[in-house]
Homo-oligomer: A and B are copies of this chain.
Amino acid sequence: MARVVTLNGSPSATSRTAALLNDLARTLAQQGHEVVRLNLRELPPGPLLAAQANEPAIAQAVKELEQAEGVVVGTPIYKAAYTGLLKAFLDLLPQFALTGKTVLPLATGGSVAHVLALDYALRPVLSSLAARHIVGSYFILDKTITVHESGKVELDATIEPKYRESVEAFTESLRIHGLHGANSASAASR
């Protein structure tokens, strides 16, 4: 089983991005993965914006990321791209911080018009961090997400199979790279 970090780039405490990531974190934990949830809006904002990677809470978050084999990057789409909050955290990471890691980009948004922001805006940044495998990113329209009181997230029937497929591609990549760890590490991209 793998170590997975979920990175929540939403500035809102009650966002659908947060609900989605929390639900996914539970699912991954039930499958036996060790999951750490990082809510970027809970990091100290001054040091975060000043890129002070040695501030204790930030240093801890960077370390969790460093130790993970898989990273789920979640963000709402604002102004045709990822949030400034998410980018502020990515900015303070070491240059090739995602080397050897599998990454699942997820976004939520109010309009289908934002779909391409994941592939055109977020992926190039994740690529620059030398992610080994960025699996098919997935964009979820806000109105197709139902958050139950229990925290359980339900997706419209038209969406759910595709979303599950993205998540399975992520866990499958973690699984097979886990089996071939030594080799695949040496073959890390970049």
What residues of chain A have their CB less than 8 Å away from a CB belonging to chain B?
A: 11, 41, 45-46, 48-51, 78-91, 93, 111-117, 119-121, 123-125, 127-130, 132-137, 162, 165-166, 168-169, 171-173, 176-177, 179-180, 183-184, 186-190
Contact = CB atoms under 8 A, between A and B. Distances in A.
The A contact surface, by secondary structure, is: helix
A134 B124 CA distance: 12
Contacts of A120: 80, 116, 120-121, 124
Q: Within the oligomer, what is the number of copies of this chain?
A: 4
A12 B147 CA distance: 40
A137 B84 CA distance: 21
A152 to B, nearest CB: 24
Nearest to A130: B136
A170 to B, nearest CB: 9
Given A41-B49, A136-B190, A188-B165, A125 B80 contact: yes
* 7 nearest A-B pairs in the assembled complex, by CB-CB distance: A136-B189, A84-B88, A84-B87, A80-B128, A120-B120, A172-B187, A45-B45
A91 to B, nearest CB: 5
B90 A88 contact: no
Contact of A119 (B48, B111, B124): B124
